[in-house]
Structure 1
Amino acid sequence: MSNDDQYDGVGGTGQTRTRLPDPPSDGYGGPRRTPRSSRGLITVVGVVVLLIAAIAFANRSGDTPDTTTADKAPDTTSTAPTGTTPVTTKTAGIPKGFAHDEQGAQSAAANYAVALGSDGMLKKDVRHALVDAVYTPEAAAQRKGAQDAAYSPAFLATLGLDANGNAPQGSTFVTRAVPVGTRVESYGPATAKVAVWYTGLVGMSGAKSTTPVRTTWKTWTFELTWAGDGWKVTSDSQQDGPAPVPGDVAASTSDDISKAVQEFGGFTYAR
Structure 2
Amino acid sequence: MSHGDESGYGNDSGRNDDAYSTIGGTRQTRTRLPDGGGGDGYGAPRRPARTSRSLVTVVGVVVLLIAAIAFANMGGGTGKDGDGSGSRGSKPESSSTAATGTKPVTGKNGSIPSGFAHDEQGAQSAASNYAVALGSAEMFNTDTRRSIIQSTHDPAVVDNLLAALTKAYSPDFLKNVGLNEDGTTPSGLAFVSRTVPVGTKVVEKGDDTATVEVWCTGLVGMAGQGSTKPVTATWFTISEKLRWVGGDWRIESSSQTEGPTPVNGDNRASTADEIAGAVQGYGGFTYAR
TM-score (norm 1): 0.69
4+ residue segments displaced more than 2 Å: none
Contact 1:84 1:104 in 2 (8 A): no
| 1:83/1:235 CA distance change after superposition, 3 Å | farther
Q: Which of 172, 178, 184 matches 2:190?
A: 172
Higher relative contact order (CA 8 A, sep 6+): 2
Contact 1:111 1:269 in 2 (8 A): yes
- Structure of higher CA gyration radius: 1
Query: 1:111 maps to which residue?
Result: 129
Structure 1 residue 81: deviation in Å?
Answer: 2.4
Structure 1 residue 169: deviation in Å?
Answer: 0.3
How is 1:65-214 mapped onto 2 (pairs within 5 angstroms)? 81-82=99-100, 84-214=102-232
Measure, in 1, the Cα distance between the counterparts of 2:130 and 2:102. Answer: 17
Contact 1:84 1:103 in 2 (8 A): no
Q: Which of 241, 247, 256 matches 1:238?
A: 256
Query: 2:83 maps to which residue?
Result: none
Structure 1 residue 193: deviation in Å?
Answer: 0.2
Contact 1:195 1:221 in 2 (8 A): yes
Structure 1 residue 83: deviation in Å?
Answer: 5.1
SS in 1 for 2:215: strand
Measure, in 2, the Cα distance between the counterparts of 1:190 and 1:89. Answer: 20
Contact 1:87 1:95 in 2 (8 A): yes
Q: Which of 260, 265, 278 matches 1:247?
A: 265
Query: 2:76 maps to which residue?
Result: none
Question: Would you tell me which structure has more helix in proportion to its own residues?
Answer: 1
SS in 1 for 2:146: helix
SS in 2 for 1:155: helix
SS in 2 for 1:252: coil
The one-letter code sitting in structure 2 at the alignment partner of 1:125 is D
The one-letter code sitting in structure 2 at the alignment partner of 1:118 is S
The one-letter code sitting in structure 2 at the alignment partner of 1:101 is D
Measure, in 2, the Cα distance between the counterparts of 1:94 and 1:83. Answer: 22
Structure 1 residue 156: deviation in Å?
Answer: 0.5
Query: 2:285 maps to which residue?
Result: 267
Structure 1 residue 261: deviation in Å?
Answer: 0.7
TM-score (norm 2): 0.65
CA root-mean-square deviation: 1.0
> How many residue pairs were aligned?
192
The one-letter code sitting in structure 2 at the alignment partner of 1:154 is D
Structure 1 residue 85: deviation in Å?
Answer: 1.6
SS in 2 for 1:185: strand
Q: Which runs of 5+ in 2 are unaligned?
A: 1-97
Structure 1 residue 103: deviation in Å?
Answer: 0.3
Structure 1 residue 84: deviation in Å?
Answer: 2.8
Measure, in 2, the Cα distance between the counterparts of 1:179 and 1:83. Answer: 19
